[in-house]
Amino acid sequence: MAHLTWTGASGLVQIRLITASGPAMTGFDSPTGTADSGLWVTDGMQFLLVNQSGTVEASATAHVSCGGTVRTIDPGLQSGSYFPLQVGNTWIYRNNSRVITGAYVRRSITGTESIAGKSYFVLTQDSAVIAKLRGDSNGVIWIATNQGEQIYLDPGSSSLQKSSYSGPLGDFSDALNTSSFANPPDFSRSTFVRGIGLVHLTAELVAGSSGGFLSSLDLVEVRLPGVHFSLPVPTISLSIEKTDLDVSGKLVPNCALPCYFTACGIGGSPDPPGTYRPCTQTRVESLAAPDSEVRLRLLDSSGVVVFTSLMTADAAGRCLTYVRLPVYTTLRPNSTAFTLLPAGPYRLTGQVLNSGQETASASIDLRVR
């Protein structure tokens, strides 16, 4: 759990998680204030103080150490619901069925709907509405049906079996197992984890020669406010201030080094007055094996590399850095002489390399004019 304090903000601000556009932990509050998180803070989680225009005014990173104990992820979920209901919540499942193996489906809460004076959350699967749910103060989840609302999940029911769960996302100690003949002759078994929601489902057909397995779902990724679990596969993402780099109109930031003091030539190599040395800012974030190499490159339309920056992931496999991308090339090493990049299309690429082999990549198309 984190206790956050801020002072001196420019106006109304709120705390957001992970990125400036990430989940909001608070509403907009005064320039000075405090706030407490729930029991879900993980090591490396970022808290950002964001103003009404979306600008980050301050940030803090949580550092959590559990000593020599085995890492578990469910203690921070103990106060949550067995089916968290909030717009934006997203679950990705690996789906096996009689017609396909290894497909993926996405379930999300896309909005709310008022029915008979009660507010329900709309649950969709790949854009199709599959349920309308609401929770009450006792943790019971209700579902709206044509016959009125019915109990979908009651954690206090004696018919449910408490258990632990081990799956693609890890080990969880607080789980509920349910079974039902919701659509006879279909029989289903489901597992819900507190603070996460549905993690596993198996459906069977109870019939003669055609009976047996119908389909299954296994959770492989979940995104909730302050919670993001996914399979430990290498990933990389790129972002850039602008994809249209107007050098001719001098609309790209000028990174020329001015002369700040009388004898500036002694302590540096300033550019002559009036120099336009355009550059833009890029952001690189990756998650991979510890000490993996992360490579950022800019390629022209013929595939020639005109800029390269190399980074190394930390011991946890993370890399998060901002890189100044020059919209020019230096004529020779250690020289202030440079030439602007020719107008035309370019591609910014990011790669995660493990022992020289690419394990993840991303790219952005740019244009210089």
Residue 164 falls inside a structural domain: yes
Q: Considering the entire predicted model, what is its pTM?
A: 0.53
Residue 72 falls inside a structural domain: no
Same domain (yes/no): 143, 157: yes
Count of domains observed in the chain: 3
Q: What is the DSSP string of 43-85?
A: TT-EEEEEETTS-EEEEEE-----TTSPP-SSGGGTTS-SS--
Residue 36 belongs to domain spanning: 3-61
Residue 90 sits in a domain whose CATH number is 2.50.20
pLDDT of residue 98: 87
Rounded Cα distance between 207 and 184, Å, is 10
Domain end marker among 230, 258, 276: 230
Same domain (yes/no): 224, 244: no
pLDDT of residue 195: 87
Structure tokens at 274: 């009036």
| Closest alpha carbon to 240 in 360, 352, 346 | 346
Residue 10 sits in a domain whose CATH number is 2.60.40
pLDDT of residue 335: 66
3 state DSSP class of 265: helix
Domain end marker among 208, 230, 252: 230
Residue 323 falls inside a structural domain: yes
Residue 296 sits in a domain whose CATH number is 2.60.40.10
Instruction: Convert the pLDDT of each residue in 228-267 to its tens digit.
Output: 777 667 888 999 989 999 999 999 999 888 776 666 655 5
Give backbone dihedrals phi and psi of 266, rounded to 5 degrees, phi first: -75, -40
Same domain (yes/no): 83, 226: yes
Same domain (yes/no): 222, 302: no
**For the chain, which ranges sit under pLDDT 70?**
65-79, 181-185, 208, 226, 231-232, 260-269, 332-335
Residue 191 falls inside a structural domain: yes
Same domain (yes/no): 275, 302: yes
Other CB atoms within 10 A of residue 322 CB: 11
Same domain (yes/no): 249, 282: yes
Domain end marker among 210, 230, 250: 230
Instruction: Convert the pLDDT of each residue in 22-36 to its tens digit.
Output: 888 888 888 988 888
